[in-house]
Amino acid sequence: MVKIVDIFAGIGGIRKGFEIAFNGNIECVLTSEIDKYAQQTYIANFGSDNIYGDIKSIKEDEIPDHDILLAGFPCQPFSQAGLKKGFNDTRGTLFFDIERILIKKQPRAFLLENVKQLRTHDGGNTLKTIIEHLENAGYKVYYDVLAAKDFGVPQNRERIMIVGFLDHNINFKFPIAPRTKTRVGDILEKHVSDKYTISDRLWAGHQRRKIQNKISGKGFGYGLFNEASPYTNTISARYYKDGSEILIEQKNKNPRKITPREAARLQGFPENFVIDKVSNAQAYKQFGNSVCVPVIAAVAKQIKKSIEES
């Protein structure tokens, strides 16, 4: 049984990917998630054992021993005004909480996930400093940017994956993307309530802003897709506000937002994943903040292979 800790867990997308890769041979000895609504969805799917709130309130001595640390750590600290001067110290950022646990507990491996822009933030200095801190904690580190649409999910979502191993003899390789053709129609529900159709006022506003953005040369406005579209834009945590990044065409109607179940499918969550313990607005926020499960599973399989070969 492989023991994991799930930090900045959200609704458990990274954990779900590892459960798939390790055929359920996973024991989560600690979960940390500060958002109470995300906790509700997490508990509905994984149970309530070993769930804690803010990671900052958990001392590293209190963290159980584990084999792999998982963390989809928030990207907001890297855009704070104070960090524009350069990422010279991890103290005060949420990354520090990962670092202090790695130093104290020394798990065999870790997987960190973040936005693609982390790679180029502050001219690459932010990522460089993060890698240096991880290496100083004793790890051999690898990173790459992977896209959901290359792993069978019809969403143009790119995320950086950072993997580390305590055993420096391990030569890890990221998964080769199958690049199978994707189709938005594969994740759409057959019968959708009219409540997801956007109003005349909202649709007019979307169209007006798209024209204005085109004239000013900034932003893209709404994104309109249909069953034949190969993939959608990236779903974001703000999707619940107006759904502008992903609208679905409808015959003789205004476009509609995707449903929460379609949002779950767009992130590759299995059909039995429970999503109805929170409001639709919270569900959209949670899936926008989550990860593409098949991408995580593919990376996790490579981590499993590397550990077994070592």
Mean pLDDT, residues 128-135: 93
Judged on CB neighbours under 10 Å (0-12, 13-18, 19+), 110 is buried
Q: Of the candidates 209, 249, 254, which has an alpha carbon nearest to the alpha carbon of residue 228?
A: 249
Q: Do domains 2-179+288-309 and 184-267 have the same CATH topology?
A: no
Tell me the pLDDT tens digit for each residue of 194-204.
999 999 999 99
pLDDT the model gives residue 147? 97
**The pLDDT of residue 88:** 52
pLDDT at 276 over 60: yes
Query: What string of DSSP letters covers 179-215?
Result: -----GGGG--SS--GGGBPPHHHHHHHHHHHHHHHH
Read off the pLDDT of each residue in 137-156 and give the average, rounded to a whole number: 98
Q: Is the pLDDT confidence value at 232 over 70?
A: yes
For domain 184-267, give the CATH number.
3.90.120.30
Average confidence score pLDDT of the chain: 92
pTM of the model: 0.93
Sequence-ordered list of residues with C-beta below 8 angstroms from that of 62, at least 6 positions apart, any chain? none
Q: What is the CATH code for 2-179+288-309?
A: 3.40.50.150
The arithmetic mean of pLDDT across residues 176-189, rounded, is 97
Q: Which of 27-31, 126-130, 151-155 has the lowest mean pLDDT?
A: 126-130
Residue 75 falls in the annotated catalytic set:
yes
Per the CB < 8 A criterion, the answer to whether 155 and 235 are in contact is: yes
- pLDDT for 7 equals 96
Q: Of 153, 254, 160, give the one whose Cα is nearest residue 201.
A: 254
Read off the pLDDT of residues 46-104 as tens digits, 9 standing for 90 and up: 999 999 999 999 999 999 999 999 999 876 555 443 444 445 555 557 888 999 999 99
For residue 143, what pLDDT is reported? 98
Q: How far is CA 299 from the centre of its chain?
A: 13
pLDDT at 79: 43
Residue 282 CB coordination number (10 Å): 20
The residue ranges of every structural domain in the chain are 2-179+288-309, 184-267
275 versus 219: the higher-pLDDT residue is 275
From 35, 36, 39, 55, select the one nearest 47 (Cα to Cα): 39
75, 177, 274, 307: the active-site residue: 75
Q: What is the pLDDT, as a whole number, of residue 92?
A: 52
User: Looking at residue 279, what is its pLDDT?
Assistant: 97
Mean pLDDT of 277-306: 97
Determine how many CB atoms are found less than 10 A away from the CB of residue 117. Answer: 14
